[in-house]
Amino acid sequence: MVRLPLVPLADLSAPLGAAVQRGVDTRMLSSTVPVQVWAHRPQAALAWLALLDQFHNHGVLDARLRELVRLRIASITQCQACQLARKSDRVDAQDIEALNCLQPGSEHFTPPERAALTYAQLFATDPHAVDAHHFAALDLYFSTEEVVELQMFCALMLAGGRMTLVQQAYEEQPQ
């Protein structure tokens, strides 16, 4: 059960309600439940959703890569809503199986995907292990702009997944 009270969707401010609806329509949001908790701080919720929107709908990273990274971090944070959601049709059951083998270096993935997944896994589990070697691997495949987005996206997914898990804000509740 959710640990903090939910703001009913009908009670969201017009701007927050519109942002939630856009998030649902574009598959940016896995669930409305976390946002219904965040809605107790509507301006902060709007800022969080705006950042998510930047990555999901206006990002410089490939949608498949972003989804693989999101799912890898979701398995680390154990966020149920994040693990169950699919935000790109370019990630299939074989991809999920390869991700679940806990081997981001799997030959199943392309070299750029392996570099990004290795980075994302270390970012989420052992940030002190990220070194110049990892940045050199990313530099082979990604622009500086893409690496910065990857870092920011990893940070947001890690924070969001942990927050959702701690709040237990993943069970859909009747409104």
- pTM equals 0.91
Average pLDDT, rounded, for the chain: 92
Confidence label for 30 from pLDDT (cuts 50, 70 and 90): confident
pLDDT above 50: residue 174: no
Residue 80, amino acid: Q
Tokens at 28, concatenated: 């940016």
Q: Which domains does the chain have, with CATH numbers?
A: 63-158 (1.20.1290.10)
pLDDT at 59: 97
